[in-house]
Amino acid sequence: MIRQARPADVAAVVALEADTQGEDAWSEALVRDGIEGGLPTISYLVGLVEDRVAGYAVASYAGDIAELQRIGVAADVRRHGIATALLDAVVAEAPGTGANRLLLEVREDNAGALAFYAARGFVEIDRRPRYYRDGAAAVVMRIPLLKGCSF
């Protein structure tokens, strides 16, 4: 089941963030602010497996561009469709914010995530060299949100 994150989910999301994002993980303060801040420009979703917060996704909205800032699933429940359900929920909510395309950045060496995004219909539109702290490049990917939209 996918739903908006609540204040009680902060600790679980912080733990997932640390597990899935490594040294780029956001601080608890940042996650708490995002979940409790009630900003219309940022959305935290969680995926539940038997009441356990097993995955999360964070999207930001600015005008006609939505950005998938984070998506992560606990290692023991991967390949069960949780990230797919989270991404579907982001894709469903985004047009209501005025967005017509969803962008993301992913490390060029993150083969699992690249395969996941390709399976979901994202296409590479750009690369940002030396984007990450360790020198890895970011692959910029995009999926259109509106039928017939080719942005």
Ligand X SMILES: CC(C)(COP(=O)(O)OP(=O)(O)OC[C@H]1O[C@@H](n2cnc3c(N)ncnc32)[C@H](O)[C@@H]1OP(=O)(O)O)[C@@H](O)C(=O)NCCC(=O)NCCS
Is beta strand 52-62 parallel, antiparallel or unpaired with respect to 42-49? antiparallel
Q: Taking the complex as a whole, how short is the minimal distance between the CB of residue 148 and ligand X, in angstroms?
A: 25
Q: Taking the complex as a whole, how short is the minimal distance between the CB of residue 84 and ligand X, in angstroms?
A: 3
Residues of this chain that bind ligand X (CB under 6 A): 20, 70-73, 78-84, 106, 110, 112-113, 115-116, 119
Residues 6+ apart with CB under 8 A from 31: 10, 13, 14, 17, 44
Distances (CA, A) of 131 to 51, 62, 102, 104, 107: 36, 22, 20, 13, 9
| Dist. CA 36–CA 23, nearest whole Å | 24
Quick one: tokens of 68? 């998938």
Q: Given the complex with ligand X, which of 37 and 81 has the nearer CB atom?
A: 81
Q: Taking the complex as a whole, how short is the minimal distance between the CB of residue 98 and ligand X, in angstroms?
A: 24
Q: Given the complex with ligand X, which of 62 and 115 has the nearer CB atom?
A: 115
> What's the distance, Cα to Cα, between the start and end of the chain in Å?
31
Q: Given the complex with ligand X, which of 32 and 78 has the nearer CB atom?
A: 78
Instruction: Indicate the residue whose CB is closest to ligand X.
Output: 112
Q: Taking the complex as a whole, how short is the minimal distance between the CB of residue 69 and ligand X, in angstroms?
A: 8
Q: Given the complex with ligand X, which of 56 and 61 has the nearer CB atom?
A: 56
Q: Taking the complex as a whole, how short is the minimal distance between the CB of residue 34 and ligand X, in angstroms?
A: 15
Q: Given the complex with ligand X, which of 102 and 150 has the nearer CB atom?
A: 102
| Dist. CA 79–CA 116, nearest whole Å | 10
